[in-house]
Amino acid sequence: MEKKKPNRWLGFIILTIAAGLIYRAPYLKTVFYNPMVETFALTNTEVAGLMTVYSLTKTIIYIPGGILVDRFDNRKMLTFSLIGEAILTFIYATIPSISVLRILQFGFAVVNVIFWVAFVKAVRMFGSAKEQGSVFGYSEGIRAAASLAINFIALALFASMEKNMAVHPLSGVLWLYGGLYLAMGGALWFVIPSGSGQEEGKAHATFKDYVAVLKVPAVWLVSLLVCFAYSVQVASEYITVYLNNIMGMTAVVAGVVATVRSYGIGLFAAPIVGKITDHASSYSKSCIVLFLFEIMLTAVLLILPGDPNYVIACVVVVLAFAAAMYSLRGVYYATMGEAGVPLAMTGTATGIISVIGYLPDTFMNLLIGDKLDKYSGTTGYKYIFVYMIVFAVLGIVVALVINRIGKKNSAKAGTAAAPQKA
């Protein structure tokens, strides 16, 4: 048994690194928005349409994907998804037509769902009920470090190929991603124990259990919490385009800022805040505080003039916002424990939560793409900032409800007696 521990923790590290890399291909627009538009000759609305295909597919298969992960070997699920991702990315690198891109986004959605629900289940297994903030925070930190490194490498590769007048610099980036996915998939096969997470699912995953999970109100509330938080995140990804088109940054410099914003800040913020939240009164309260920070910082972006003279101030606000946003990512799944979701049913619960939680991909990109195509200058981006504030407010409302339910559950379990005496 002792011999398995190093492999288990090594598996955790490699797994979380893979989690930081697996979304680079389907979310290519996050760092390489303008190069993607130019390389594939796409409009803003077409880019949004590709993301809609991706997200609608995920929405349909999240629940069956969760059930699948609860019943089968985590190692096989994780390895299969990464190898599948590699094959799809290699095809992506050939610069196909938009019709093929839609098929690829469908494929990315399938393998990403399998990976994600298996990943969340694996992470939950590494900590007790009181350590979920730390465990998810550490996983976010490792994911951020991996994403930070690969994006800087990808940006350097893109810049080098562009300087050397390569026909499709973006193709080189995609070949790089595909090679890494293939390597990660192979590595996980050797460091993740066979049968990982399988026994729990087989012992407890019955039809009645699935129905029971559906009947837990907190599961649906956590779904909404993730949905509103993710809505803010999706909208914030367009800040890269804002820096490029409005603030006068080059595509490479804006990409560097986007990488630091998305991953450099998360490298430190998520683990630190995750550890702090383990000592807070509840994870839902921590979510409320982080949503409030997002609202205040987005309000500053809304007020700042769309002028290159204010680019430094804009970057500072963007990075501060990233600290709140990625800290929130390290906390909202920790509320599953507060909701009382059994470990053996994590895959199923994650499927349910993800259906609603990541629904913003189906409408936010289309909503924002339409505004950017209709309104020139700063007007379209002002709409984006307003959307971010609205969804953050909705997130606070849901977090308050979760907090109230958590208190009631604690009282029923007899754990609320001591605090009441204080």
Read off the pLDDT of residues 290-328 as tens digits, 9 standing for 90 and up: 999 999 999 998 998 878 888 888 888 988 998 888 888
Q: What's the pLDDT at 293?
A: 94
Q: How far is it, in rounded angstroms, from Cα 326 to Cα 271?
A: 10
CA angle 283, 288, 290 (to 5 degrees): 95
Is the per-residue pLDDT at 93 higher than 90? yes
Q: Residues 259, 151: contact at Cβ < 8 Å?
A: yes
CATH of domain 4-412: 1.20.1250.20
Please state which of the ranges 87-91, 143-147, 418-422 shows the lowest mean pLDDT: 418-422
Please state which of the ranges 257-261, 290-294, 337-341, 356-360 shows the lowest mean pLDDT: 337-341
Q: Where are the domains of the chain?
A: 4-412
Q: Is 219 helix (H, G, I), strand (E, B) or coil?
A: helix
Read off the pLDDT of each residue in 391-419 and give the average, rounded to a whole number. Answer: 75
Q: What's the pLDDT at 26?
A: 93
Alpha helix ranges (H) inside 22-97: 29-40, 44-71, 74-92
Please state which of the ranges 55-59, 140-144, 206-210 shows the lowest mean pLDDT: 206-210
Highest mean pLDDT among 16-25, 192-201, 335-344, 352-361: 16-25
Is the per-residue pLDDT at 245 higher than 80? yes
In 3D space, the residue among 370, 317, 350 whose CA is nearest the CA of residue 121 turns out to be 350
Is the per-residue pLDDT at 354 higher than 90? no
The pair of three-digit structure tokens given for residue 196, joined into one six-digit string = 């990982």
Reported pTM:
0.68
> What is the percentage of the chain residues whose pLDDT exceeds 70?
80
CA angle 123, 127, 133 (to 5 degrees): 80
Q: How far is it, in rounded angstroms, from Cα 108 to Cα 104?
A: 6
Q: What's the pLDDT at 418?
A: 40
Read off the pLDDT of each residue in 400-415 and give the average, rounded to a whole number. Answer: 73
Q: What's the pLDDT at 101?
A: 96
The better pLDDT of the pair 194, 385 is held by 385
* pLDDT tens track for 153-190: 998 999 898 888 767 889 999 999 999 999 999 988 88
Tokens 């026909």 label which residue? 167
